Amino acid sequence: FLKYNILGPFNYNSRDEYNSSNPGNMDFRNKTIFKGKYSSVSWFKGTNDLTGSISLNNSITDVRDTYFFLSSKLFIKNDGYYYLLLGREGYTDIWLNGKKIFSGIKKHGFIHGQYYIKVHLSKGGHDLYIKTSNYKNIIRLSLRVTDINGRSINTSPGNSPGSKKKGSGRLIESKY
């Protein structure tokens, strides 16, 4: 993914407090204002850097005990099995079409593609929400989609005829 809609920062003091928040109906097209860690927040746009990761501590200097929501849309051209390859540092949860498909509760250093999530996706558009937190005052995340053979695929709307169609997806497995 190269572009995200981002909401935050939000504060948390414990893993239970982090776990109690979820994207619910936080549609990025909605202009609702939320109470953030320091002030009121609303959705803003963000993009990956040249390494394919997004570092949220570039937009705010103190990300201790902080989390953000990221939203994107996958457009899939053909029904089939796909991998979501994830690199992360802090706690991270991922929802696909409203269903949680990944929850990483261990904080650690960042490596691209350190987790894979195998999913079955139908042709069409898929809503993706990510919640991610800090580790050692850094919030960094990378996510890319590959076919079953590990080849990167383009998930932008221009790649998928009939991309307005809502697709369905299901989790097959996720591993470290």
Residue 83 has pLDDT above 60, yes or no: yes
32-49 pLDDT tens trace: 788 888 889 888 888 888
Cα separations in angstroms, 49 against 19, 32, 83, 93, 110: 28, 27, 21, 21, 15
Of residues 49 and 132, the one with the higher pLDDT is 132
CA distance 97 to 52: 23
Of residues 120 and 138, the one with the higher pLDDT is 120
pLDDT value, residue 150:
87
pLDDT value, residue 175:
57
pLDDT value, residue 55:
87
Q: What angle do CA 110, 111, 115 make, to 5 degrees?
A: 105
How is residue 108 written in tokens?
């650690």
pLDDT value, residue 117:
93
What percent of the chain clears pLDDT 70, i.e. is strictly above it?
82
pLDDT value, residue 1:
59
Work out the pLDDT band at 50, boundaries 50, 70, 90. Answer: confident
- Average of pLDDT values for 77-86? 94
Of residues 145 and 50, the one with the higher pLDDT is 145
DSSP string of the chain?
--EEEEEEEEE-SSHHHHHT---TT--TT----EE-SSSEE--EEEE--TTSEEEGGGT-S--TTEEEEEEEEEEESS-EEEEEEEEESS-EEEEETTEEEEEE-------TT-EEEEEEE-SEEEEEEEEEE-BTTB-EEEEEEEETTS-B---SGGGSTTTTSBP-EEEEEEE-
